[in-house]
Amino acid sequence: MKELIKDLNINVSSLVRSGVVLVIGVPAVIGLGNVLNTAAASTQRAEQPDVRQLVIESYQGQAAEACVKFLVAKSDSKMEREAKTELDDVFGGDVNHAEVCKWVFS
């Protein structure tokens, strides 16, 4: 009988120890999980491209070839007129061609 009580005592102390670990450990693990989840979400948001920057890069990419033609063409030549027309088409209206080309290559 004494051995049974001794074994039971060891099991009870073991159960109490496990309970204490659970009571302290579970909130710590949940808190750490929330911190890691928040950090992962902010990293994911930081990696997403900025829509504004994508639009700017799109316009610069579309206008690059026309700007090269405009910058190397002789004044009042057919090539310069074509480049100006291409730039106007990219931006949907009349633009200041020299300034647009400066912006494209900035």
Percent of the chain exceeding pLDDT 70 equals 89
**Confidence bin at 8 (pLDDT 50/70/90):** low
Domain ranges of the chain: 1-48, 51-104
What pLDDT was estimated at residue 34? 81
- What is the DSSP secondary structure assignment for residue 93, as one 8-state letter? S
- Burial pattern 54-70, b for ≥16 Cβ within 10 A else e, equals eeeeeebeebeebbebb
Question: What predicted TM-score, i.e. pTM, was given to this entire model?
Answer: 0.54
86 near 95, Cβ under 8 Å? no
Residue 11 in this model has a pLDDT that exceeds 90? no
Residue 10 in this model has a pLDDT that exceeds 70? no
